[in-house]
Structure 1
Amino acid sequence: MDKSRPQARAVVVGSGIGGLTAALALHRRGWQVTVLERAASLRPVGAGIGLAPNALRALDTLGLGDELRELATWQGDGGLRTPGGRWLSRTDARAAAARFGGPLVMLHRSTLIGLLAGRLPEGTVRTGAPARLADPGTPGGRPARVAFPDGELEAELLVGADGIDSAVRTALFPEHPGPVYTGMTTWRTVIPAPGEPFAPHETWGRGALWGTQPLKDGRVYAYAAAAAPERSFAPDGEGERAELLRRFGHWHQPIPSILAATPADAILRHDVRQPARPLPAYHRGRTAVLGDAAHAMAPTLGQGGNQAIEDAVVLAHHLAPGADPGPGLAGYSADRMGRTAAIAAKSARIARLATLGSGPAVALRTALMVLAGRLGPGLALRTFDSIADWRPPTRTYADLAPEHPAGSTTC
């Protein structure tokens, strides 16, 4: 970088996984970065997250991949079950790692947030700073400008990573209809693991699904989804716990044990929304959007956070500090729009399949799942072809060293 020129400035709005990954990637590229976060602290909202090989390779470019592999649980053999406990199909962790070049790992979101924030220079993240896009800027012309209660900031680059209700996206594309309810609601929790051992699993029933995944620290990440009217939330945590017991309390173990051990205040519930139609671009002027602000998707492929991480690394790859950001932002949009739209569409299809409510449709789905299971893990793994095998546009640890060993549930 030319020491005689002032350092190029980037402002990131939002300190979730996508925002902090973008901040770190841009910082490592040579940008002077400021992160503006509306909340009063960096305490992450959320529960567990699965990082697939595609996201881990992106994090390798930031020097975080191996540390995360050490801190996380490597997903072991598990599979898909019926509410009565019957295995419909089995997953093979070693086969998946061999096919996609690495493992799927599970960890708490707070662990990832802490690692990302800890690699940024002190003072980079400003909490309690709700931001408003005042001017997206023009490439080769005026800078982007963001306003917040204590004043304004100008920057050569602005990144909107402010989530599904992104104010940055709304300011960039006021004509876009924004996200709409998909018909599916979700619950998540992280609690100490029950006494009896269990294999990682996802269980599909009539109009609902449940998943249970172990974490390395002795806790378990459990999640559920169901077809439900929009905003049909219970008035308090006890009501949500009662709703989960009603829907899932009679399903196979360890589901009843997990529900019995789950405090009401440990349950998170969110309706699943995604854009009514894709954005026309992921940038305008000197401003880009990424993650849920650009392409919110159903959680059924587990790719929401993974795609935000990809976005961040690809964005920084295209944006050399000191250069006109116009061509780089156009390259970022071109690289990311088709891929994320396809993954969002596939996630939506699987969400509809997983929450079928008709008895005959569920019976047909079960029969097809059994057949797929008998044909071996390769058929199920094809779902993630062209997703989990993605590689970032720079050389990574995985390119320079032998593949990581697979098949263990812990590092």
Structure 2
Amino acid sequence: MADEHTTAGRTAHAVVIGGGIGGLTAAAALHRDGWRVTVLERAGSLDPVGAAISLAPNALRALDVIGLGDEIRGLAAWQDGAGPARTGVAGDEGGVRVPSGRWLARSSTAAAAERFGGPLVLLHRATLIERLAARLPDGTVRLATAATLVDRGGPGRPARVGTADGELEADLVVAADGIRSGVRGALFPDHPGPVYSGFTTWRVVLPVPGLTSSTLASHETWGQGRIWGTHPLKDGRTYAYAAAVTPEGQQAPDDERAELVRRFGDWHDPIPAVLAAARPEDVLRHDVHHIAEPLPAHHRGRVALLGDAAHAMPPTLGQGGNQAIEDAIVLALSVPRLRPGAGAPVAESLAAYTAARQPRTTAITRRAVRVARLNMMSHPVGTAVRNAAIAVLSQAGPALFLRGFDGIADWRPPRRTYASEEAGVVVP
């Protein structure tokens, strides 16, 4: 395979390993730019593992690049710009509470939308996956196809990806294969990989009688070493999540719904109603891990890592999926739109991707770890001090409380600045 400067008569090929949110966003963005894309997903379907995802203004602006932003904004539970949010940034009737139900902080989503230039949208992951997949040609996604990196490639040499059906050559490989990324291990075998964050999470999405976007005060409740969040979805269902400090690898002795009842059953309304509506099979439980030691780079050769494969973070800022979407769009903007004679080589362009993404994702990961230490605090004295500080900040107004998302939710996608534009090449 020739280098990109001599690709006349051939459409450049990108292989995406992983059909989650980040991988499908990258596939859609590259397809939009004229690449031939193959997505390899080891699962038998695109049904995501997980429940809901909150998309902040930064991710929605990234989705604008592929024409999906407004479609997703239309799924907000509040159509006046308000919506539930992570880490206590909730609607006008929401905020942060303690287990008794007392409000520590109330915050306006109108203020958040004004500060960050748009709403926050909470939706089921399956909905986002469906909308992203619809932007790809039939046959792009190959299900039940495990993939391994055979050769990372380089200038003048393609990357190669192995499957049970044979090898694929690629001008670009996008590794979106998650927190246990095999590609990351192949590229950086000496990296220690993810570490346990110290807590586990439970999630449910289900209809709860009496709870809708008009009746539910979207909230996150902070206890001692435990948190709970309840938020409405536009389709009438309720998304609830919980977290607790536990040893790694634990499971409930009976079932996870019963475990939630033991840990949260005496907390304020509507938590008992959510638990009453849940069945054991509705509850997902996962230990939380993050990448504490940043990777040396987010690429090697013709291979780019994105999302959890590159920078897994605790969910305490609600930015894991958002950063994967940012990664995907910035990656597509970093590599050339391949046309005969156009663009810098992929292997060189990926250095720009690392330069753009590594500092930002490292900083956000570290901030998410700090927030996790705060809201998963177990010591009663420390918890009392934390709660008092939150109450004081809330009294100062929502703008002060929202500062924790400055530099995150106000992000905007960069302009495409690679060599083909600088050389005056016309790119449709």
TM-score (norm 1): 0.93
Give me the identity figure in percent. 63
Which residue of structure 2 lines up, in the alignment, with residue 19 of structure 1?
23
Alpha-carbon offset, residue 72 of structure 1: 3.0
- Aligned with 1:205 (options 208, 223, 226): 223
1:179-209 alpha-carbon deviations (Å, 9 max, x no partner): 0101011111101033152210000001100
1:54-80 alpha-carbon deviations (Å, 9 max, x no partner): 000000110001111112324132100
Q: Residues 211 and 273 from structure 1, CA distance in 2 versus in 1: closer, same or farther, beyond 3 angstroms?
A: same
**Within the alignment, does 1:72 sit opposite 2:88 as a pair?**
no
Which residue of structure 2 lines up, in the alignment, with residue 330 of structure 1?
351
- Aligned with 2:204 (options 166, 179, 189): 189
Answer yes or no: is the 8 Å Cα contact 2:302–2:347 preserved in 1: yes
Distance (Å, rounded) in 2 between the aligned partners of 1:172 and 1:354: 34
Which residue of structure 2 lines up, in the alignment, with residue 107 of structure 1?
123
Distance (Å, rounded) in 2 between the aligned partners of 1:327 and 1:343: 26
Which residue of structure 1 lines up, in the alignment, with residue 283 of structure 2?
267
2:310 is paired with a residue whose SS is helix
Higher relative contact order, structure no. (Cα contacts within 8 Å, ≥ 6 residues apart): 1
2:162 is paired with a residue whose SS is strand
Larger CA deviation: 315-324 vs 274-283: 315-324
Answer yes or no: is the 8 Å Cα contact 2:315–2:368 preserved in 1: yes
1:151-193 alpha-carbon deviations (Å, 9 max, x no partner): 1100010010000000111111011010010101111110103
**Within the alignment, does 1:153 sit opposite 2:171 as a pair?**
no
**Within the alignment, does 1:317 sit opposite 2:333 as a pair?**
yes
Which residue of structure 1 lines up, in the alignment, with residue 412 of structure 2?
391
Distance (Å, rounded) in 2 between the aligned partners of 1:3 and 1:173: 30
Answer yes or no: is the 8 Å Cα contact 1:7–1:321 preserved in 2: no
Which residue of structure 1 lines up, in the alignment, with residue 419 of structure 2?
none
Answer yes or no: is the 8 Å Cα contact 2:216–2:231 preserved in 1: no
2:255 is paired with a residue whose SS is helix
Which residue of structure 1 lines up, in the alignment, with residue 243 of structure 2?
225
**Within the alignment, does 1:345 sit opposite 2:366 as a pair?**
yes
Distance (Å, rounded) in 1 between the aligned partners of 2:128 and 2:243: 24
**Within the alignment, does 1:286 sit opposite 2:302 as a pair?**
yes
Which residue of structure 2 lines up, in the alignment, with residue 365 of structure 1?
386
Which residue of structure 1 lines up, in the alignment, with residue 61 of structure 2?
57
Alpha-carbon offset, residue 141 of structure 1: 1.8
**Within the alignment, does 1:239 sit opposite 2:260 as a pair?**
no
Q: Quick one: which amino acid aligns to residue 250 of structure 2?
A: S
Distance (Å, rounded) in 1 between the aligned partners of 2:191 and 2:37: 29
Alpha-carbon offset, residue 3 of structure 1: 9.7
Alpha-carbon offset, residue 276 of structure 1: 3.3
Counting matched residue pairs gives: 392
The runs of 4+ residues in structure 1 deviating greater than 3 Å are: 1-4
1:379 is paired with a residue whose SS is helix
Q: Quick one: which amino acid aligns to residue 260 of structure 1?
A: A
Q: Quick one: which amino acid aligns to residue 125 of structure 1?
A: V
Which residue of structure 2 lines up, in the alignment, with residue 172 of structure 1?
187
Answer yes or no: is the 8 Å Cα contact 1:61–1:394 preserved in 2: no
Answer yes or no: is the 8 Å Cα contact 2:208–2:273 preserved in 1: no
Alpha-carbon offset, residue 328 of structure 1: 1.5
Which residue of structure 2 lines up, in the alignment, with residue 408 of structure 1?
none
1:34-58 alpha-carbon deviations (Å, 9 max, x no partner): 0000001111111011000000000
Answer yes or no: is the 8 Å Cα contact 1:35–1:126 preserved in 2: yes
Q: Structure 1: 5+ residue runs without aligned partners?
A: 396-411
Distance (Å, rounded) in 1 between the aligned partners of 2:337 and 2:74: 33
1:318-356 alpha-carbon deviations (Å, 9 max, x no partner): 111434112310000000001001101110111111111
TM-score (norm 2): 0.90
Alpha-carbon offset, residue 247 of structure 1: 0.7
Larger CA deviation: 316-325 vs 119-128: 316-325
Distance (Å, rounded) in 2 between the aligned partners of 1:72 and 1:189: 19
Distance (Å, rounded) in 2 between the aligned partners of 1:380 and 1:221: 24
Distance (Å, rounded) in 1 between the aligned partners of 2:130 and 2:69: 14
**Within the alignment, does 1:162 sit opposite 2:177 as a pair?**
yes
1:233-275 alpha-carbon deviations (Å, 9 max, x no partner): 125xx52111111110000000010011111101111111011
Answer yes or no: is the 8 Å Cα contact 2:25–2:328 preserved in 1: yes
2:74 is paired with a residue whose SS is helix
**Within the alignment, does 1:143 sit opposite 2:158 as a pair?**
yes
Distance (Å, rounded) in 2 between the aligned partners of 1:380 and 1:311: 27
Q: Structure 2: 5+ residue runs without aligned partners?
A: 84-90, 417-428
Answer yes or no: is the 8 Å Cα contact 1:190–1:219 preserved in 2: yes
Larger CA deviation: 72-81 vs 299-308: 72-81
Q: Residues 4 and 136 from structure 1, CA distance in 2 versus in 1: closer, same or farther, beyond 3 angstroms?
A: closer
Distance (Å, rounded) in 1 between the aligned partners of 2:403 and 2:349: 32
**Within the alignment, does 1:31 sit opposite 2:35 as a pair?**
yes
1:310 is paired with a residue whose SS is helix
1:269 is paired with a residue whose SS is strand
Which residue of structure 1 lines up, in the alignment, with residue 144 of structure 2?
128
